[in-house]
A and B are shown apart, each in its own frame.
Chain A
Amino acid sequence: MTPAPYRIRSRRPDRADTVTLTLEPVDGACPSFVPGQFTMLYAPGVGEIPISISGWFRPGGYVQTIRAVGAVSRALCHKRRGDVIGLRGPYGTGWDLSAAAGLDVVVAAGGLGLAPLRPVVRELTAHPSLYGRASVIVGARTPATVIYPQDLARWHDGHGIDVQVTVDHPDQAWTGPVGLVTHLLDRIVFEPRRTFAFVCGPDAMIKATAVELVRRGVDPRRTAVLLERNMKCGIGRCGHCQLGPLFVCLDGPVVTYDVAAPLLAVREL
């Protein structure tokens, strides 16, 4: 439970309340990770929270995107280049990309849910021949809260991935779709029976999207979702992340929807 010291190599404000940090170990090597895994980031004296890994940089470090919603995330967002924070992990299960080989791929993100999905799309852009058609659909509250706008544009323009973004509350300049992310499923092309889906966002978004995918014929075992729960330890010790039989920190955060569906269906589980 002792974090290792990591130095902030760079800090990029993404949106008004969101910051992307690159983190490298003060000494030693940075453990490798599987996309979908998270680390516990420790802001000294303030607290420790789970944050997904959004990328890797050479020779060895993590890219992590943090939205300031409370005390710890705010403290992490306020850190500067060169500051040292604590890091444990990576922990949890990752996205099973090998299971998607040869299939159409749908990546569905709600808000900050795009952060843990970014390395999935990077893989799709790096090895396009391994997969079928690839689409990325993103739902956000407002245009200003869509993260990684440059990545989205690059994936679309440079890599031929179908990228669609919808918002709940458009502003004057918005010309794209308005409404739920599930509506975007009508705008992309995939063969449901030969599709693997990666879904991340708030519980309600995950449920709505997965239900819609399954209704269209996607196999729940080919619908991977990333769950969020209160986490204090990340290693099956504190008990906070329990979802019925699961420790989301150990058995998740990534699980397939056949596992998640009956659990998410129970109120207050």
Chain B
Amino acid sequence: MAAFVLDSLEPLIAELRSRGFAVVGPVARGGVIRMEEISSAADLPRGARDEQTPGRYRLSTHDGDLMFDYAASPDSAKRFTQPPRQTLIRMRRGDIEEVEDEAPRLALLGIRPCDLAALAVQDRVFLGGRHPDPAYRRRREALFLVTVNCAVPGGTCFCVSMGTGPKATKGFDLALTELADPHRFVVEAGSEKGVDVLGALSQAAACDDDLAAAEEVSRIAAEHMGRQVDTEGIQQWLPQAHDSPRWSDVASRCLSCTNCTMVCPTCFCTTMEDSTSLSDGTAERVERWDSCFTLDFSELNGSPVRGSGEGRYRQWLTHKFATWYDQFGMSGCVGCGRCITWCPVGIDVTEELANLR
């Protein structure tokens, strides 16, 4: 597909807004890159750089025009495609009413190639089986995806190992590569919608130099992965390692706090909460994010099936890297590194896998 060059993102943001999209993009808030609604390119975190290591995230500001010089933020697309809480039904005197929230039209600007891969995983989980989820479909179809190819992988990224980055090959409406000197973006459309939006902007065709520079950004990024995983045969060997002494070692460090599963862009587990109004008899069911690190998750006949920390950590790691293939024909991990960075005690899945192997 033809590539173009944009000198500024302002017209793109304005065009998306004029088409009725709320544009959600990276902003620096509270020392962290968050994905929030923006109204102009001025809201983007110019000069921000992140430092991500196990259990640690720091943001700093530098000179220059670059707006995407950092890696994955704690906010993936999951927060928008599968909100932390949603009301499913309401029941009044024998009438059961399905609650259908309107899906917001969102343009996600600056989500990363690994996030696109995570969306493909979510699509498989929510839409690819015998019971597709209409609410997910509505929210998903209301998205416009502008990805930014990574220039500076985070210290916990391992998308190259998982085959998901640092350059996006599919799953986007538009893909940007940010270039310096002069500051500009090489942009490619990946869908009809993307072609249409691009057509409405005044852009110049990218020249060979632009394309070569963009390739170079992705090539260098691929060589600077913070982490790596050897995925060879992992679907087979990992479940067979269920008796390894490593599980109790990691369990002694793990807090069962759930942070890894909550930040993971593909973890989909939920639980239900019921409530009643005793005054008018209305009953409500709410679905909310849950995690296999809680004890209620596996409760059976009054006690949890996975009562030990070993059992729970093993469920998480084995599900992400092995049994997901059995269930969905793909890996449950896209290598974004969020679970490593945002684990309060810095437990590193890549290190645990290397030690288990």
Do A239 and B270 touch across chains, with their CB atoms under 8 A apart?
A: yes
The A-contacting residues of B in range 229-270, CB under 8 angstroms, are 239, 242, 268-270
B301 vs chain A, min Cβ distance (A)? 7
Do B130 and A250 touch across chains, with their CB atoms under 8 A apart?
A: yes
The B-contacting residues of A in range 41-74, CB under 8 angstroms, are 42, 44-48, 69
Please judge, given known A-B contacts A86-B96, A230-B299, A238-B270, whether A244 and B91 are in contact too, CB under 8 Å.
Answer: no
A21 vs chain B, min Cβ distance (A)? 16
Q: Which of A9-17, A127-135, A162-170, A261-269 contacts B (4 or more CB under 8 A)?
A: A261-269
A83 vs chain B, min Cβ distance (A)? 9
Do A229 and B270 touch across chains, with their CB atoms under 8 A apart?
A: no
Question: Roughly how many angstroms separate A244 CA and B274 CA in the complex, as a whole number?
Answer: 28
Question: Roughly how many angstroms separate A224 CA and B129 CA in the complex, as a whole number?
Answer: 24
Q: Which single member of B130, B271, B297 contacts A236 (CB below 8 Å)? A: B130
The A-contacting residues of B in range 299-348, CB under 8 angstroms, are 299-301, 305-308, 310-311, 314-315, 318-319, 323, 326-327
Provide the main secondary structure of the chain A interface. Answer: loop
List residues of chain B with CB within 8 A of the CB of A266.
242
**Interface size class of chain B, counting residues whose CB lies under 8 Å from the partner chain:** 35 or more
List residues of chain B with CB within 8 A of the CB of A48.
272, 274, 285
Do A2 and B96 touch across chains, with their CB atoms under 8 A apart?
A: yes
Q: Does A258 contact B (CB under 8 A)?
A: no
Q: Does A183 contact B (CB under 8 A)?
A: no
Provide the main secondary structure of the chain B interface. Answer: mixed
Do B96 and A232 touch across chains, with their CB atoms under 8 A apart?
A: no
The A-contacting residues of B in range 20-64, CB under 8 angstroms, are none
Q: Does B95 contact A (CB under 8 A)?
A: yes
Q: Does A237 contact B (CB under 8 A)?
A: yes
Query: Which A residues are closer than 8 A to B by beta carbons?
Result: 1-5, 26, 42, 44-48, 69, 84, 86, 202, 228-230, 232-233, 235-240, 242, 244-245, 247, 250, 266-269
Query: Which B residues are closer than 8 A to A by beta carbons?
Result: 88-89, 91, 94-96, 98, 126, 129-131, 133, 239, 242, 268-272, 274-276, 281, 283-285, 287, 290, 292, 297-301, 305-308, 310-311, 314-315, 318-319, 323, 326-327
